[in-house]
Structures are given as C-alpha cells and as structure tokens.
Amino acid sequence: MLNPCTPDFLATLPAGTVRAPDARHLDEPRGRWTGQAGGVALPRSVDEVAQVVRACAAARVGIVPWGGGTGLVGGQVMPGGPAPLLLSLERMAGLRGAWAEESAMAVEAGMTLARVQAAAEGIGGMFPLTLASEGTATIGGNLATNAGGTHVLRYGNVRALCLGVEAVLADGSVHHGLTRLHKDNAGYALRDLLIGSEGTLGIITAATLRVVPRPAEVAVALLAVPSPAAALALLALAEGRLPGLVSAFELISGVGLGFLAETMPEVRVPLVAPWSVLVELGLPAALPAAAAMEGLAMAAAEAGLATDAVIAASGVQAAQFWAVREAIPLANRRIGAVSSHDISLPLSALPAFIDRADAAIAGIGAFRVNCFGHLGDGNLHYNVFPVAGRSRADHEGQREAVKTAVHDLVAAMGGSVAAEHGVGRLKVADLERYGDPAKLAAMRAIKAALDPLGILNPGAVLRQG
C-alpha cells in the first residue's frame, strides 16, 4: 500500500528540488485525464534523483517520472490513488559527451529531442528519431516509451539508436550503463528492459546515442495511390529500386485531408486523393535524389500503383509536404475522436485489416475513419470520428464497442494493439486481454523483482497488485 506525497514528505527531499506542479505537469495531450501530485521534484543530478527515489522508497510514496508530458497513453499522469510525487527530468538536460569519431554522444534524459537532434548536427551527423512532438518530448521520455516516429523504416525505433543508459532503480541504486560499446553480451540487457518500460522499472537519467550520417541528397514526394494494397506494392517497388534508401513511407487518407480542410484551412495540401503516400528518399552524394524519385514515380505510374504525384522542388517545399502529414494529428484532435487506435500488423495483412475494420465499424454506427501513419513499419493510426454535425459526446456509449471491434480484429490478425505509443494507463486492460499470458507473467515477475514496493509509476503498464 502506498502513501500520499505530503508537505512533510516533501520537506525530506534535497533542498531546492521541490515545486508545486504546474498545469503542464498534470495535463496530457488528448485531454482524457488530469493528473494529481503532491509535488514535483526537479533534481539537478543523478545523485539527487537517487536521493529522491530512496526517500520515496522509505516513505512508500509513488513516483511518476515526467519528461515533456507528450505521451499519448497517460503514462505520465496519475489521476487516482494516493497522490504521487512527480519526478521531472527537465533540469537534467545537458550534453555529457560527444565522440564524432565514434558517431556517438551522451545526453541527459531531460534534453528535448529537438536539442538532441541539434547536438548530433554539432558533431557532423544526424539523430534520425523524428516526431511531431520533438520540440517538447525529451530523450528520456522517448526511451521510456521506445518512441518510433516517421523514420523507423530506415533507422529503427529509439531502442536501435541507443547504446547505453544510466538509470536510477527503485531502491535508489544507480545503474551506470552509459556504455558506448556496440557489443556487450555480459549478462542480461538491462538497457533493453528499461527502454520501453514507461518509468515502471527505473528512472532513465542519461543515455548514449548513435549518430548516423545525414544523407547528402533528400527527395520528398506525395503520390496518390489507388488503394492501401497499391501503397504496399509501391513500397516494395521503392525498396527494390533503392535498397536501404527509403527513409519514410507514410500513408495519408483523404478523410484526414478533409479534416485539415475543415479545421486547419491554412495548411496548403498539394495533392488531394482518397489515399496517398508521403515518400522520403535519402541518398549519398553523387546519387541525385530528385532523379531517383522521378524514376520511382514513373515506374509506379506504369505499374498502376500511382495515379498522380507531386515531387518537392526544394527543401522548403519538402517541409511543406511534411507539414501536411504532421498537421493531421492536430486536425484529428480538433474534430475529436470517438476512439483512436495505435496498431501494428504484418505488412501484408494491412489492406485486409482496413477493409474488415471499416466493415466492423460500419456495423456499429455511422462514423468517419481516418486511417493513416507509418505504413512502412506496419504501424497505422486507425482513428474513428463522428460524422459531420455530430460530436464524440454523441457516441460516448459506443466507444467501448468501437475499440473492442478494432482491437479484436488486430489481435485475430496477428497484430499489436500498442504499436508505438506504449501501454501507459490507457491500455492496461488491453494488455491483460490481448497480451501473451507467459509474457505477462514474466513482466509481473520482473516488476516485483526490480520494484518490490511498487513505487515506480504505480498502475502504468501493469495493474497495481
């Protein structure tokens, strides 16, 4: 049983580390929950993080780690239970080291992703994790959620970009894992366990990250495709012609473009079609990317896989194309989803999934579906909205049926109902319903072993025992 975080408890924490929570610490982007907290600890060093964790363990006070607050599954907010202590890494945002000759750098967990990207540029490379929330999201939060984003197809998710982590465990001990080794099979991979654990197994305080070469030539295009199946065939065509050089392949639905027109008419949309893909190629010097993209678009048209194409003529235009893709989640929020689903499936199952899910949703009621996302990774956001003139409140009683229909189908087709945003507090019941029982038992055993008092992010990922 945990105790609430009280003023008396706060007085035991290191001097100068405690503040009252601001609204930004308690709100979350989808507005589903409002968190509560007895206070916010803002430690300045790994030593202070360890002191805070030890104090929480001694007093049995829950800790909710907080990065930038951009998580989409409620892992960073705790709306019920004994008021926890929020532990924000925002004052630990420094560059610990950079090794250009090794294409590696070490950063503190509170550094925003945008600043991590700038630090990589500072040593002549690129940190390829890219998210619409990168100005606010922190690398600690990215690692804790094993964030994906738009360039996973080429560079992997953040786990693939991380060489080592430093973390404070639930007893206040420090795991000094800031290695720059590419090979280290000395026992269990604690780094990989902490990545994606959403603050339930340890507080990540710093990480060593891989930096990759920036492609010399980049081309971006929007291509209208006859169907999601054609989009997948186009992806195979692109990868066959340009192996390893397709950096992003994003599916865009005409419904999403309609939402943009409805809620953000200032966003210029260069190509409107029922289905389209945004393709980014990144090529080494001496391989002209624009010609490669034109060749791809022509081959796609000849094969009946593309009906129209616009190729960005400049970096500014490429950014405008990306702005369309990145505005879609905001437009979705303005329309107000009845239910949003972050799912992944084997690539070849995606077209049938979309057809079957559309049919299942139509059987429940009249809705608009905006299905979009990281097609190249098999990760789609299948989001269900009210028809024009109605609101999400009108469908309150149908939300559970919609979600269950989509998730049951995903599970039946061999997919995941928590593809890139994680489990947080939103999908605890889904994990229990669809998760592999042996995996769930192992997860509970790991949690009990590493956090026997259950103080780290109580109720996130796993229901509190």
Ligand X SMILES: Cc1cc2nc3c(=O)[nH]c(=O)nc-3n(C[C@H](O)[C@H](O)[C@H](O)COP(=O)(O)OP(=O)(O)OC[C@H]3O[C@@H](n4cnc5c(N)ncnc54)[C@H](O)[C@@H]3O)c2cc1C
In the bound complex, what is the minimum distance in angstroms from residue 191's beta carbon to ligand X? 13
Residue 136 CA to residue 347 CA, distance in Å, equals 31
SS3 97: strand
Beta bridge partners of 187: none
In the bound complex, what is the minimum distance in angstroms from residue 65's beta carbon to ligand X? 4
198 near ligand X (CB under 6 A)? yes
63 near ligand X (CB under 6 A)? no
Whether 144 and 67 have beta carbons less than 8 Å apart is answered as yes
Q: What is the DSSP letter of 67?
A: S
Q: Calculate the alpha carbon distances from 96 to 134, 159, 378 in Å.
A: 20, 19, 35
3-state helix, strand, coil in the chain (%, to 5): 35, 20, 40
Q: CB under 6 A: which stretch of 145-153, 180-188, 213-221, 352-360 binds ligand X?
A: 145-153
In the bound complex, what is the minimum distance in angstroms from residue 310's beta carbon to ligand X? 23
43 near ligand X (CB under 6 A)? no
Q: CB under 6 A: which stretch of 16-24, 137-145, 217-225, 245-253 binds ligand X?
A: 137-145
Q: What is the DSSP letter of 406?
A: H
Q: What is the DSSP letter of 84?
A: -
Residue 271 CA to residue 223 CA, distance in Å, equals 8
In the bound complex, what is the minimum distance in angstroms from residue 394's beta carbon to ligand X? 25
When binding is defined by CB under 6 A, the residue of 39, 43, 177, 199 that contacts ligand X is 199
- x/- contact string, 348-367, with ligand X (CB under 6 A)? --------------------
Residue 160 CA to residue 147 CA, distance in Å, equals 11
Cβ-closest residue to ligand X?
141
Residue 396 CA to residue 390 CA, distance in Å, equals 12
Residue number, 150 or 339, with CB nearest to ligand X: 150
Closest CA to 70 of 34, 116, 27: 27
Residue number, 223 or 460, with CB nearest to ligand X: 460
- x/- contact string, 409-438, with ligand X (CB under 6 A)? -----------xx--x--------------
89 near ligand X (CB under 6 A)? yes
In the bound complex, what is the minimum distance in angstroms from residue 113's beta carbon to ligand X? 8
In the bound complex, what is the minimum distance in angstroms from residue 167's beta carbon to ligand X? 7
Query: For every residue of 39-66, which 3-state class applies, written as one string?
Result: EEECCCCHHHHHHHHHHHHHHCECEEEE
Residues numbered 440-459 forming contacts with ligand X, rule: CB under 6 A? 457
Whether 392 and 338 have beta carbons less than 8 Å apart is answered as yes
153 near ligand X (CB under 6 A)? no
70 near ligand X (CB under 6 A)? yes
256 near ligand X (CB under 6 A)? no
Residue 457 CA to residue 151 CA, distance in Å, equals 29
72 near ligand X (CB under 6 A)? yes
Which stretches of the chain bind ligand X, using CB under 6 A? 29, 64-72, 75-76, 89, 109, 131-133, 137-138, 140-142, 144-145, 147-149, 198-199, 203-204, 329, 420-421, 424, 457, 460
